[in-house]
Chain A
Amino acid sequence: MTARVVSWLDERLGLTSIYNLVFDRKVPKVNWWFTLGRASLFLFIVQGVTGVFLSVYYVPDPSEAYGSIQYIMTGVTFGWLIRGIHHWGASLMVIFVFIHMLRTFFMGAYKFPREITWLTGVILLLATLGMGFTGYLLPWNQRAYWATTVGTAIAGTVPVIGDFILRVLRGGNDLSAVTLARFFSVHIWFLPVVIIGLISVHMYLVIRLGISSVPKDKEQ
């Protein structure tokens, strides 16, 4: 029965060919360092799912944000788990994406014909850091408030246009309800859309070009 349903669907959707193309690719003999990309993707999906769940109760407003997170942590069943996964997953994702970048760099995997994979990866790393930066403000506690005050002030030290950048980031001269709302919007809409788009290009290129092999020692 299951086999018949699967073959009926396969005939129409071409699932087997997608599976073969994506998962049954030929790869060179590689090591554990080559799993970091997939690990980053997995963490992004985890962050996406837990983030959607958090948005059920979180309110991006200065008077409600802190209370709504207290409610998630103490009032909602398994709220501590969902927020905990999102919290720790965020740090893990930055670490994994960064080591993924280092591995690509040190193994020279960014070279021809994979330059565009590398470039999209650079933007993905920056977008991941942006997710960390914008997400950090959302709990609206002392740490979040002052971290963002300092972070946006650092951006403000850019010569000539620094002051303008600072005001764009904060949505005014000071940290306010406007800052919280725009950080929230960037965190749940702008950056996720950018990341999903770039991951698609990144993954397409990985599948199209295949992955590079481990660089060989000169003497071998």
Chain B
Amino acid sequence: MTDSHEVQRRDFVNIVLVGLGSVIGLIIGIPAIAYLLSPAVKIQDEEAWIPLGPLDSYPLDEPKLFSYTRTKINGWEKTVNSYGVYIWRYGEGESEVKVYSNLCTHLSCRVTWQEDTNVYFCPCHDGRFNKQGAVVAGPPPEPLHQFETKVEEGVLSIKHMEV
């Protein structure tokens, strides 16, 4: 019977080794994988309300450019991106305001409001948008991106997001 007794001990040792090995492997492996995947999983929340100043400071029926910057933290490094928006008040009321991104929907060039021709003009490929942001001419596939707005105590704000 001594033979079978030895075999049993060997099996026991093997099972314990495999079991402990798997546990140790998991304890080490899971943090290691999490470590590598971490930057892909942790996405910064990029939405934020940006105040654009008192609504009254913007003229009626004339798109005005407003520029602001946002700081993005990428690991150990910070990048400052600048953004531009056009504010268009089409009426006296607090809700009668539209805010458009100045990024052309074609290839993200900056559009500028041209008073003489009454269009937003993109110099890259001759794209044109009207006051309402709709495409008038050129290659842009969709209208200018519009921001969600709110007015609190007379101050206009937009909800910033990556376009």
- The chain A residues found within 8 Å of chain B, CB to CB, are 53, 56-57, 59, 64, 67-68, 70-71, 75-79, 81-82
- Say whether B31 faces chain A, with CB atoms less than 8 Å apart: yes
Assess whether B35 is in contact with A78, with CB atoms less than 8 Å apart: yes
Q: How many chain B residues touch the partner (CB < 8 A)?
A: 13
Contact of A78 among B31, B39, B42, B75 (CB under 8 A): B31
| Cβ contact within 8 Å between B32 and A67 | no
8 A Cβ contacts from B97-135 to A: none
State A85–B60 Cα separation when bound (angstroms).
64
Determine how close the nearest CB of chain A comes to the CB of B43; give it in whole angstroms.
Answer: 13
Q: Is B34 in the interface zone, CB < 8 Å from A?
A: yes
- Per DSSP, chain B at the interface is helix
Bound-state Cα–Cα, A64 to B36, Å: 20
CB proximity of A60 to chain B, nearest CB, Å: 12
B77 at the interface (CB under 8 A from A): yes
Q: Judging by beta carbons under 8 Å apart, are B75 and A71 in contact?
A: yes
Name the one of B31, B32, B75 contacting A57, with C-beta atoms under 8 angstroms.
B75
Point out residues on B near A: beta carbons under 8 Å. 31-32, 34-39, 41-42, 75-77
Cα-based distance from A76 to B41 in the complex (angstroms):
10
What would be 28 A-B contacts, judged by CB atoms less than 8 Å apart?
Answer: A53-B36, A56-B35, A57-B75, A57-B76, A59-B76, A67-B76, A68-B75, A70-B76, A71-B75, A75-B38, A75-B75, A76-B35, A76-B38, A76-B39, A77-B31, A77-B34, A77-B35, A77-B37, A77-B38, A77-B41, A77-B42, A78-B31, A78-B34, A78-B35, A81-B31, A82-B31, A82-B32, A82-B35
